[in-house]
Structure formats: structure tokens, C-alpha cells
Amino acid sequence: MVVERIAVIGTGYVGLVSGTTFAELGHSVICADLDEAKIAMLQRAEIPIYEPGLQELVTSNVQKNRLAFTSDIGEAIRSSDILLIAVGTPTLESGDVDMKYVHHVIATIVSHTTSAKVIVIKSTVPVGTGRRVEQELRTALPHIQIDVVSNPEFLREGSAIHDTFHPDRIVIGAEQAEAGKRIAALQSALPGELLLTDRESAELIKYASNAFLAAKISFINEMAHVCEKVGADVGLVAKGMGLDKRIGPHFLNAGIGYGGSCFPKDTRAQLKIAQNVDYDFKILSAVIEVNQLQRERFVDKIKDTLGGKLHGKRIAVLGLAFKPNTDDLRDAPALDVIHALQSLGAEIHAYDPAALHHASKLLRDVQMYDDLYDAAYDADAIVIATEWETIRQMNAERIRSLMRYPVIIDGRNMFRPDEMSRLGFTYVSVGRAAAIHMEAAI
Ligand SMILES: NC(=O)c1ccc[n+]([C@@H]2O[C@H](COP(=O)([O-])OP(=O)(O)OC[C@H]3O[C@@H](n4cnc5c(N)ncnc54)[C@H](O)[C@@H]3O)[C@@H](O)[C@H]2O)c1
Ligand SMILES: O=c1ccn([C@@H]2O[C@H](COP(=O)(O)OP(=O)(O)O[C@H]3O[C@H](CO)[C@@H](O)[C@H](O)[C@H]3O)[C@@H](O)[C@H]2O)c(=O)[nH]1
């Protein structure tokens, strides 16, 4: 195996996991970031994000001298042959992708490059970016061999390590076959199908995949409404659909809709990419609209269950992160739900096992707990916003005894409605007609 010298520029969720993975695969990796506090933490072997399994992997690769961290981006560039860009690509008000972090990295590369480089774009970027970046670099550095390769990332937060070591596919978009093959060789020990494409296709595969997964979620959420009206159970409908291999069982969990740092921004970016070439991507507009409505309808459901008035009601919101096993609150549905409940006069007590530190910066007037029983104490209702395992394992009888009224409105369909009613709860979930609406309980 050829051991490559790799600099990862941008040591966030993707950069840190990718850099650590390449080190684990035997390469020499330096992870660089402008955020000096983050780098200082990493140099002290502290992991700035909550991601199961990451701490152990970082520590062992640092000990083997295959992984290091720096805030000297120039030095990282000079000492490496492969530069992996993993900075953020958020959305602008207009819906376009904000490329300022990528542009800043390109300017830094221009200033510090004195030898041949292969630049790998891991960040999710609009189609055409790889081509433009390569032109810009070749114009600025005419005597140096520069190749730009697209290698989109498909990891999910909360299972990032597993996803990275067990990818369904590795997509590499390159114009120069040699550069593409070199980046493929870096990952040759990983399973999963290798798909070599042109850069534009690789860039679009990333957006198309996220948009399609988001579409599955919005589709099942719309089905959930129909289920409620006609007396069906969306869980069973999804199961029956998913048994068809052409459909598959994944991403058909109805609930309060998708959140996170990727689906909301990437669906909007893909819509804009289409608009920019005069195409109205109608399905995607609907996917985005349905997802927004899903949060609003969930708040209506809470209101209806609690008899129409929330003023003065104490609501325990269980789960704040956009999904379990992460501390990431970017576009987390729980935040919108809490803001809406507060605007209707509810008093919020919140529980999350990992995200409270970030939440305290984003939420006002919320009592926060790292113990779900404390959060549920004296509550008029529990609202479940994230399907943390700790919530699944909760002692329901103890919870009921602590609450003022035994009411659960479950935005993640974590429990069986019949079981919860048997335990004495008024239990309302999403798209399951068997759920019992009992204002009488209050
Ligand atoms: N988070 C995910 O699960 C995920 C998965 C697949 C793809 N992506 C994509 O990967 C990219 C990165 O996402 P993320 O979640 O890791 O972002 P992040 O915000 O967690 O990390 C980005 C990092 O880049 C650093 N940075 C910004 N400008 C820099 C510069 N000029 N030089 C050096 N460092 C700089 C920031 O300080 C930050 O630490 C995005 O395009 C995202 O869409 C994310
Ligand atoms: O059936 C489902 C599945 C997911 N979700 C929600 O969808 C969001 C996204 O979940 P998930 O995809 O598991 O997490 P992410 O870490 O956002 O990962 C997505 O976004 C990443 C960034 O682009 C990609 O790399 C991944 O492949 C893609 O799954 C979360 O709010 C989930 O609660 C549902 O509501 N129902």
C-alpha cells in the first residue's frame, strides 16, 4: 500500500471522521482548522463532537503517529500531497450555497502550494465546483500539477464511524483518471462498490441521494396524515411497503420530519441548482414544504391533545438533537417545536443526554435536564422529539407517577399505542389511528 500524506482542511464532523479513517487505513494525516479552540481540544485528545467510537479511534491513531492536528493551515498544505477539503457549505437566504469557506480554503491553497497536489472535495458543493476550482488553481499556479477530484461523503451523524468503514458505495468524480485512481486507492481497503464518474455526476449524486431520502421521509409523513384520517397505522403501511425490495424498508419512519445539517440545506440547494438552470423541481419543493408543515402540524397535535390551550402548561420535551447519538442541533425539529410551544405560553422542561451544552446557547427560558425523570416531574405532558435509546428504555410506570397528567405526544412513534394505553397514558403519535385522543384525561 502507498502511504499518502494527507491534509484535511476543516476538522468538523466530516473532516475529523474522514481524517481519522484515512489514518486508521494507514495514511499519514494532518487535520487542520481555523478554529484554534477546536484544534487545542483535539491536541489534548478531547473530541469536540459527540460521535460514538470516535474518541478511541482518534486516540489510537494519534498514538501511532498517523494523526495530528494543527491550526497552521499553510504548514498542513505544504507538508501534504493530497488536500481534502471538508469545510461547511451552508445555505444563503437566496437558497444558493454559501461557498465562502471553500473560497477561503482555495485562496490559502494558492498561497502555500509549492508542489503537486491532488485536491479532494469532500464538502457537499454545487455541481460545477470541482471544474471551477481546478481552473482557478491551475490559473493561479500554472507551473504546478493540480488535479481536483470530487469524493462526496455519505456518512450519517451518530453512526459516522460505522458508515465510513462500511460504505454502500464510494463515489469518485475525476477528469484525470490517474488522480481518480489515486484517491480510490486511498480507500481500497473499504468495502462497498466503487463508482468512478465525471466530477459533475459525482457532485450531483450527493445532492440527489439526500433529496431522494428526504423525499421518502416527506412521502411517509404525508401518508401518516392519510392513515390518521382513514384509521390505518403508518408503521404497518411502511412495513408493508418496505418489504418490496424495489422500495426498501429504510427512511420510512413517519414523525416530526427531518432535520440536521444536511437534508434541510441540501434539499434547498438542489432546488436552487435546478432553478439556476431554469428547471422547476416540483417534487423537491413539495418535499421541503411538507417537512416544514410536519413540524407545525405536530405542534397542532400537541395543542389539540392538551385541550387547545397551552398557557401555563408544563411540557417536558424529551430529546433535542436532530437525531439520536449526536449532540448536533442544526435545524433540529425540537427547537422549532419548543419555540412554537413557548409562543403559545407553555413552560418547557427539556431532556437530552448529549446536546444540552449546545442547547443552552440556543434556547431561552427552558429548564434543562440530563435526567429524563427530572424533566418529566410534574409535567402536564411529555413531548418526544428525538428517539434516544434512554427514552425507549424509560420506566413508564415511574414516569407516570411523576407526571401531573400522564400524557405523551410522541413525534417519533417510539412506543406501541396499545401498550401505552394499558400503562395508563394518553398516548398520541404520528399516523397511527389507534392512538387515543383523550382530552378527558386532563
Ligand atoms: N455533517 C455530516 O453528517 C455531513 C455528511 C456528509 C457531508 N457533509 C458535508 O461536509 C461538509 C462539512 O460539514 P460538517 O458537518 O463537517 O461541517 P462543520 O461545520 O462541522 O465543520 C466545518 C469545519 O471547517 C472549519 N473551517 C471553516 N473554514 C475553514 C478554513 N478556511 N480553513 C480551515 N478550516 C475551516 C470550521 O472551523 C469547522 O470546524 C459540508 O459541505 C456538509 O454538507 C456533512
Ligand atoms: O425514516 C426516517 C429517517 C430519518 N429521519 C430524520 O431525517 C434526519 C436525517 O437523518 P439521517 O439521514 O439519519 O442523518 P444525517 O446525519 O443527517 O445523514 C444524512 O445527511 C448526511 C449529510 O449529507 C449524509 O451524508 C447521509 O447519507 C444522510 O443520511 C433526522 O432528523 C432523522 O430524524 C426521519 O424522520 N425518518
3-class secondary structure per residue, 92-129: CCCCCECCHHHHHHHHHHHHHCCCCEEEEECCCCCCCH
Please check the confidence at residue 125 and state whether its pLDDT lies above 50: yes
**Nearest C-alpha to atom 22 of ligand 2 is from which residue?**
262
What strands lie across the sheet with 314-318, from one edge to the other? Answer: 366-369, 347-351, 314-318, 381-384, 407-410, 426-428
Q: What is the pLDDT of residues 55-113, one digit of tens each?
A: 999 999 999 999 999 999 999 999 999 999 999 999 998 989 999 999 999 999 999 99
Q: Distance between CA atoms of 292 and 272, rounded to whole angstroms?
A: 18
The residues near 131 (Cβ < 8 Å, ≥ 6 apart) are 148, 175, 199, 200
Please check the confidence at residue 115 and state whether its pLDDT lies above 80: yes
Of 262, 321, 341, 391, catalytic: 262
User: Ligand 2 within 6 A of 21 CB?
Assistant: no
Residue 71 to residues 11, 20, 314: CA-CA distances in angstroms?
10, 17, 45
Q: What is the pLDDT of residues 381-396, one digit of tens each?
A: 999 999 999 999 999 9
**Nearest C-alpha to atom 1 of ligand 2 is from which residue?**
251
Q: How far is the CA of 410 from the centre of ligand 2 (A)?
A: 19
User: Ligand 2 within 6 A of 217 CB?
Assistant: yes
User: Ligand 1 within 6 A of 428 CB?
Assistant: no
Q: Distance between CA atoms of 351 and 376, rounded to whole angstroms?
A: 9
3-class secondary structure, 75: helix
Q: Where in the chain is the domain with CATH 3.40.50.720?
A: 5-197, 198-442
- For residue 398, give the nearest of 406, 388, 390 by alpha carbon: 406
Please check the confidence at residue 433 and state whether its pLDDT lies above 80: no
Residue whose C-alpha cell reads 457537499 in the numeric block? 124
3-state secondary structure 201-232: HHHHHHHHHHHHHHHHHHHHHHHHHHHHHHCC
In this prediction the ipTM stands at 0.98
Residue 430 to residues 233, 299, 320, 344, 413: CA-CA distances in angstroms?
9, 12, 18, 21, 6
3-class secondary structure, 196: strand
Residue 439's pLDDT is: 42
CATH fit for domain 5-197, picks 3.40.190.10, 3.40.1190.20, 3.40.50.720, 3.30.470.20: 3.40.50.720
User: Ligand 2 within 6 A of 134 CB?
Assistant: no
User: Ligand 2 within 6 A of 213 CB?
Assistant: yes
Q: H or E segment at 149?
A: strand 146-150
Atom of ligand 1 nearest to the CA of 15: 16
- The CATH code that applies to domain 198-442 is 3.40.50.720
- For residue 326, give the nearest of 37, 22, 17, 5 by alpha carbon: 17
Residue 200's pLDDT is: 97
User: Ligand 1 within 6 A of 408 CB?
Assistant: no
Atom of ligand 1 nearest to the CA of 89: 41
Average pLDDT over residues 403-411: 98
Report yes or no: 95 and 268 within 8 Å, Cβ to Cβ: yes
Residue 434's pLDDT is: 52
Please check the confidence at residue 440 and state whether its pLDDT lies above 90: no
Report yes or no: 373 and 393 within 8 Å, Cβ to Cβ: no
Measured in residues, the chain has a length of 442
- For residue 304, give the nearest of 440, 442, 439, 441 by alpha carbon: 439
Grid cell at residue 82: 493530497
Active site residue 227: no
Residue 169's pLDDT is: 98
Grid cell at residue 73: 493551515
Grid cell at residue 304: 389539540
Q: How far is the CA of 322 from the centre of ligand 2 (A)?
A: 9
pTM for the model stands at: 0.96
Residue 131: how many CB atoms within 10 A of its CB? 17
Q: What is the pLDDT of residues 272-310, one digit of tens each?
A: 999 999 999 999 999 999 999 999 999 999 999 999 999
Residue 41: how many CB atoms within 10 A of its CB? 14
Average pLDDT over residues 150-160: 97
- For residue 436, give the nearest of 425, 47, 325 by alpha carbon: 425
Q: How far is the CA of 396 from the centre of ligand 1 (A)?
A: 39
Ligand nearest to the CA of 265: 1
Q: What is the pLDDT of residues 194-234, one digit of tens each?
A: 999 999 999 999 999 999 999 999 999 999 999 999 999 99
Average pLDDT over residues 311-333: 97
